[in-house]
Amino acid sequence: MNVGDQSKRLLSSSSSSTGGGKESAETKEERGGHLSAQPFINNCYSEMCMSSAQVAPSVEKHKISWIIAAIFIVADMVGGGVVAMPVAFKKSGMTMGIIIMLVIAVSFEYTGYLLGKVWNKLMERNPHIGVCRKPFPEMAKRTMGPFMQRFTSVLGNITLFGISIVYLLLSSNIIHYFISNVLDLENISICLVIFGLAVAIWPFTMLASPGEFWVVIVFAMLTTVVAVGSILSGIAIDADLCFPHAKYPDINPEDVFLSLGIFLFAFSGHYVFPTIQHDMKEPREFTKSVFVGFVGVILLYLPLCIFAFSVYGNSMDNSVIYSIQTPSLQLLANLMIAFHCIMTLVIVINPLNQEVEHYLNISHSFGPGRLITRSVVLMLVLFIALTVPDFGPVMNLVGSSTIPMGCAVLPSLFYLYNEAATEEEWRKNKIPTFKQVLQRTDKTILIVNVLIILTSLVGGAMGTYQAIVKLNEAQFSAPCYVRLFNDQQYGNTFQVKNICCGALGNISRFNSTSKYLKGAPYSYLNQARFPGGAPTL
């Protein structure tokens, strides 16, 4: 039995149970094209989604299994976090770093599970649902009302837009370094690389939904595994030299709170989760995908962070890759991270594209509307990237501000309100009051969710404050379009540094740099650590 037939049977039985005077949904659909004899069901989705009967076969056939969905989750979360997470341990310390990582991972896995439960219940109550361009805001509307729908929509769009910019900048800077220092094409500017990469990504942004580009995501996962393997290999090679001389920094509360932005960013992905679940063959299995996905992320992050911090200590810079003293492994890890970010950008920007198309009433089928709309969205991402070509402060701000709300607070609220609503209230589109939510929710579940909400709000607020302070202190390069009108030269904001290890930062495996590290800023590193003169490496 296909989805449409199954929907008709369920709706028909639902209609007959409400009273003998109402005609069946099947009869009504055949006669007038309506999906249900109960108006509240159709009104709920008329603005957001298409019914299963309205979905074109070409849209319905692109569905993914739960294991591919788990790979999507890993690919969505792991990226820049691979290189930044060990540095977060430098700010938080080993013990606090492990605790913070596991607490955030378990909390975000739980809230991802809650999102899956909420969407499954929406499908049970509305079995006719077909294609939905805005599953995350739709959950907000059905559980907490139209205001939360608008709030969630704006917050999600800002977050996905910011993450898209970060990924474009990070991958562009890595590729620019490769072009300039490995291929010896020193006249290629970072601005040109950013523009060229956006053009290369553009065709993939035209794919309708995750179900159409799952192969890309599998490759994104593979690049991450190769990157982590390269980093671990490099650390293992350096361990005998660096570990005996490693020094671990004294930790202060300010640095711990600043590290929260990195931890939160590394486990973010909830804004994309409903879109992934919506494209599954069996959406009810998404909770299984969430569990496997988060376990995979922890297995990638935790050993890498512990190993890197143990071997290098406080000698790490803003990327663990800089500390690796094997140039070929540095280069391989960086390129894999760049390719991963390029492919993950396709995932992240997709829900944003679909929501813009919804507001502009663009057809679900490929055509001029999608071509123009998605091109404009990518052009806006490109414009901001060309305006602020430094990605570090941007990542900290995005990670600390919008991600706690979307990945912890909103999923918990959606679940609490969804479970507190009775079937009668659901049918009448009546939202339970805050007092009713407190009264009807199991106390253990309530306490767990309240703790997650409060911790996320406090941590996010303090992390945002610290990120704003650092953002004000940051020295940004001039926008690319300003550089066209002056003679000042700007180098790449990204450099592959061969950072020495040890308590004084003066221990190196090699006496000279390889050709792959030509131009690496040893002078900058040594001036910062040895104002009176750097030792000879």
CATH code for the domain in which residue 316 is found: 1.20.1740.10
Residue 285 has pLDDT above 60, yes or no: yes
Question: Does residue 236 form part of some domain?
Answer: yes
Q: Residues 125, 45: contact at Cβ < 8 Å?
A: no
pLDDT digit string (tens) for 462-499?
777 777 777 776 666 667 767 655 544 444 444 555 67
The residue segments making up the domain with residue 234 are 64-412+446-529
Q: Residues 410, 150: contact at Cβ < 8 Å?
A: no
Q: pLDDT class for 390, splitting at 50, 70, 90?
A: low
Residue 146 has pLDDT above 70, yes or no: yes
CA–CA distance, 464 with 329 (Å, rounded to integer)? 34
Average pLDDT over residues 448-454: 91
Q: Which are the contacts of 272, defined by CB distance < 8 A and separation ≥ 6?
A: 72, 76, 160, 347, 348, 350, 351
Written as one letter, the residue type at 219 is: F
What are the respective helix, strand and coil percentages of the chain, to the nearest 5?
A: 70, 0, 25
pLDDT digit string (tens) for 307-357?
988 888 888 776 788 788 888 888 888 888 888 888 888 878 888 888 888
Question: Does residue 95 form part of some domain?
Answer: yes
Q: pLDDT class for 247, splitting at 50, 70, 90?
A: confident
Q: What is the pLDDT of residue 25?
A: 40
CA–CA distance, 49 with 135 (Å, rounded to integer)? 9
pLDDT digit string (tens) for 166-211?
888 888 888 888 887 777 777 777 788 888 899 998 888 887 766 6
- In this structure, of 25-29, 325-329, 430-434, 524-528, the range with the lowest mean pLDDT score is 524-528
Residue 101 has pLDDT above 60, yes or no: yes
- In this structure, of 14-23, 317-326, 435-444, the range with the lowest mean pLDDT score is 14-23
Average pLDDT over residues 396-419: 84
Residue 263 has pLDDT above 70, yes or no: yes
Question: Does residue 216 form part of some domain?
Answer: yes
Residue 248 has pLDDT above 90, yes or no: no
Q: What is the pLDDT of residue 417?
A: 92
Question: Does residue 128 form part of some domain?
Answer: yes
Domains: count for the chain: 1
Question: Does residue 423 form part of some domain?
Answer: no
CA–CA distance, 9 with 14 (Å, rounded to integer)? 9
Question: Does residue 420 form part of some domain?
Answer: no
Structure tokens at 305: 């962070």
Question: Does residue 272 form part of some domain?
Answer: yes
Question: Does residue 51 form part of some domain?
Answer: no
Q: What is the pLDDT of residue 159?
A: 81
Residue 54 has pLDDT above 50, yes or no: no
